[in-house]
Amino acid sequence: MGRPIRIVVADDHLLFRQGLKSLLRSEAEVDVVAETERADELPALLDRVACDVLLLDLQMERNALSDIESLAARVPVVVLTASEVEADAVAAVRKGAVAVVFKRFAVDSLMSAIRAVSAGGVWLPASLQTSMAAELRRPAENALSPREEEVARCVARGLRNAEIAKELAITEETVKTHLNRVFRKLGVRDRMELALRVARPTGERS
């Protein structure tokens, strides 16, 4: 087994945070390396601690939506939220979160989300997948070429550029070129939107 997935937990509810750490510590493949109850402490914390995945409570002492974009540029962000209002979750994804876990289902869903994100993929509850896919499903200006369709499907499976290049026997630079064309043709902005566009609208990713 390789190195455990290093997790930072950011949640201002002490009991939930303790329960979350207890849940994660029962999993040999993850390691909780740091925690905080304040969103404004996260940039300095991430400077000090090597982290593979950030678990971020959306409703902290301030709404964490304003922090997601800058944090997501540094580390994959898994949003935890007690609110199941789809608009809040969609906003988090738009800001750069690569996974959303509703706290009510955290025991069943959290490890699936962490595994997917640490492998370079995305993870969303079935209900959110459906709404996001519907939002993004609009006519494309140009049809994708067969190769572009292959690249798009690889992204939806959570493959990174190097893995796509190996699977399709092309260079990483060619993968990037195809991805740029796919983004432009489908009108999507990033890998998350592309994955949602081509993913099946029902069922949860695991």
Q: Which of 64-78, 130-144, 148-162 has the lowest mean pLDDT?
A: 130-144
Amino acid in the structure at residue 133: A
pLDDT, one tens digit per residue, over 103-137 is 988 888 999 999 999 988 889 887 777 766 665 55
- Residue 110 host element (H or E): helix 106-118
Question: Phi and psi for 88 in degrees, rounded to 5?
Answer: -65, -45
- pTM of the entire predicted model: 0.66
The DSSP symbol for 4 reads: P
Q: Count each helix (H run) and each strand (E run) in the chain, helices first.
A: 10, 5
Tell me the sheet residues that pair with 53. Answer: 7
* pLDDT surpassing 50 at residue 202: no
Task: Find out if CATH 3.40.640.10 is the number for domain 135-198.
Answer: no
Give the pLDDT score at 30: 95
Angle between helices 191-198 and 126-136 (to 10 degrees): 100
- Report the pLDDT value the prediction gives residue 142, as an integer from 0 to 100: 59
CATH number listed for the domain at residues 5-123: 3.40.50.2300
pLDDT in tens, 15-62: 999 999 999 989 999 999 999 998 889 999 999 999 999 999 988 866
SS3 65: helix
Domain ranges of the chain: 5-123, 135-198
